[in-house]
Structures are given as structure tokens and as C-alpha cells.
Amino acid sequence: MSVSRCLVPMFLAVFPIESQALAEPLPLMGVQQIVAHRGSSVDRPECTLPAVRRAIAARATAVEVDVRTTQDGHLVILHDATLDRTTNGKGPLREHTLAEVRQLDAGSWFDAEYAGERVPTLQETLIACRDKIDVLLDLKEQGRDFAIAVVAEVKQHGAPERTIVGVRSVEQARLFRQLLPDARQLGLIPNPKAIEPFAEAGVETIRLWPRWLDDDNTLVERVRNTGAALHLNGTTGKREEVLSLLEHSPASLSSDDPGQLLKTLAKLHLDRDKQ
């Protein structure tokens, strides 16, 4: 099974200039999953509910968010281990309670329009996504207690079959396969040596960093040989970047600008059909 196992048809006429291509469901150019990185983080403050809602409106098929724990054991969405960059708080998240974190402004750093936005909980994020979009959980912590807490939230407030668990160790992959068997897994591997061990643990999709491909042209073939699907990270979603990623025939792409990525894929799809 690939990261795109449970995709539902999408009708993307929100982009009129590419309406002919976007009237078709994915895949476009072979891409089956469009992941909004930290939400639609190009035009909304990352890892906030506005970024999640914008990803849904832009017709991404999955939204990626980072899961961490507060001092008092609550699960929240925050990329960094510290509060400094994306809130008006200071210091490590783990040194603050949920009540303290919820008092922080998580939007002004991006634009004054988003002043007062809060760091969302995992529960709020799952509820916002339920029945609308797949959720890719980038697990920033390890351990059984953390896994049990994440699984409980997904089962109560989300949908396991529309959840993609971003696992960062073989042990974590095996643990989540036991605890949340209906979810898919994306291997956020630490280095190319981990391709085969992650695949052997049952991870359906492997993330390779594009920079790795510059140093070793065998990596994509190694992923294919395991039977896993390929995920690549992009940022801008613009033509030059997308063309370079499509050379490797990924099943899944991520972008800070999922709307632009979809428009680029649609345009490339139309151009190919005209040839």
C-alpha cells in the first residue's frame, strides 16, 4: 500500500486557467498525493489552523503537521522544539504547560493579519481535517507513552484510515503498526542507509531529500526495489522545481504552496496531452 491508498476523487476547478486538467482526479503527472507542508505555509502562519484550512481550500490531499508534547502532557502542533521562532514565547515547549502555550500569539510573526492565532492542539487539528483531508503527522518525539497518546487522539477525534504517520525510527514504525494498523506510514528516514530497514518494518512510503539524489543516483531505485512508494519534498511548487522532482516519478510530493503545486502539475498535464 502507498501513502495514497485512501485518496478520494478531487475536482479542482478552483483554478480556472487549468480547469480542463483540474477537472480530473489525481494522479496528475503520476503524483497521487499532494501534501501541504505545515499547512499552506507560504500564505498562512505554519502549523496553525488557518494554514490547515487553506490547505483544504487549495485542494491538497494531505496536510502535514508536527506533533509535540507540552510540559503537562498535552499534544500540540509546533514544528520547532522551542517557542521562539513562531510565537511570542521563549524557550523549549516542554518547559511550558498547555495553558501557558495557549496564551501565546502564533500568528503575528508571519503577518499582523494573523495576530492572536494560537498554537493548535492535535485534537483541534484532527477535527478541522476530519472528512476533508488526509493528515500526515510528523512525530517529533519517540517512546511508547507518546505513541499511545497520539493514537488515542487519532482514534477519538480523527480517522485512522486517513492518517499518515510520519515515523522517524524503525522502532516507532513497528510500534505504530501495532497500535494504529489502519494508518499508513511515511518513513522520514534519517539517512539513505535506512531505506531498507524502514521498508522491512512495513513503511509504505519513503521520503528522500532531493539533495541526497544529487550525491547518489541509486537511491530511487533502492526505494522501488523495496516495493515502497517515493515521497519528495518541494517548497515553491513552481515549474522548474516540479520538473526536477518529476524526473524521479514520485507518488507523493509536498510543498509550502500546495495550490501552486497543483496548478503546475495541471499545466504540465495539459501540455503533455497536447503533444
Percent of the chain with pLDDT over 90: 89
Q: What are phi and psi of 11, to 5 degrees?
A: -120, 115
Confidence (pLDDT) at 18: 37
Position 89 pLDDT exceeds 90: yes
Residue 245 CA: distances (Å) to CA of 89, 127, 203, 228, 234 = 37, 32, 21, 17, 8
State yes or no: pLDDT of 12 exceeds 80.
Answer: no
Each residue's pLDDT tens digit, 30-62? 999 999 999 999 999 999 999 999 999 999 999
Q: What is residue 261's predicted lDDT score, i.e. its pLDDT?
A: 98
Q: Taking 60 as the threshold, does the pLDDT of residue 123 lie above it? A: yes
Confidence class of residue 273 from pLDDT cuts 50, 70 and 90? confident
Q: Which of 274, 272, 269, 271 is nearest to 24 (CA)?
A: 269
**CATH number of the domain located at residue range(s) 16-72+126-274 in this protein:** 3.20.20.190
Domain boundaries, the chain: 16-72+126-274
Residue 209: predicted pLDDT: 97
Q: What is the pLDDT of residue 25?
A: 62
pTM (two decimals) = 0.91
Query: What amino acid positions are annotated as catalytic residues?
Result: 37, 79
